[in-house]
């Protein structure tokens, strides 16, 4: 999703591929996959980010997601 990241592409790709394997293992349809991923994002924000930053990070995440969908080929 992000075009500039402090993380190596290999690390991101490895985690992404492992998450895809889990969703495929459970034969999760798109709507269930999105629900699970959305719940994961919510959980990360609530458990790992201060209350004063949660809304700003959620908005930044949403904006980045919308931008990646708009620019996808």
Q: Which domain holds residue 24?
A: 9-71
What integer pLDDT is reported at residue 53 of this predicted model? 97
Please report whether residue 2 resides in a domain. no
Question: How many domains does the chain fold into?
Answer: 1
Please report whether residue 1 resides in a domain. no
Please report whether residue 3 resides in a domain. no
What integer pLDDT is reported at residue 5 of this predicted model? 78
Is pTM beyond 0.85 here?
Answer: no
From first CA to last CA, the distance across the chain in angstroms is 13
Please report whether residue 42 resides in a domain. yes
Q: Quick count: other Cβ atoms within 10 Å of Cβ 36?
A: 15
What integer pLDDT is reported at residue 2 of this predicted model? 52
**Which residues in the chain come in under a pLDDT of 50?**
none
Please report whether residue 50 resides in a domain. yes
């Amino acid at each position: 999703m992000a075009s500039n990241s402090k993380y190596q592409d290999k690390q991101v790709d490895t985690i992404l591929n492992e998450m895809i394997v889990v969703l495929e293992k459970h034969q999760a349809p798109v709507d269930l996959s999105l629900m699970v991923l959305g719940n994961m994002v919510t959980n990360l924000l609530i458990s790992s980010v201060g209350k004063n930053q949660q809304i700003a990070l959620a908005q930044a995440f949403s904006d980045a997601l919308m931008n990646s969908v708009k620019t996808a080929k």
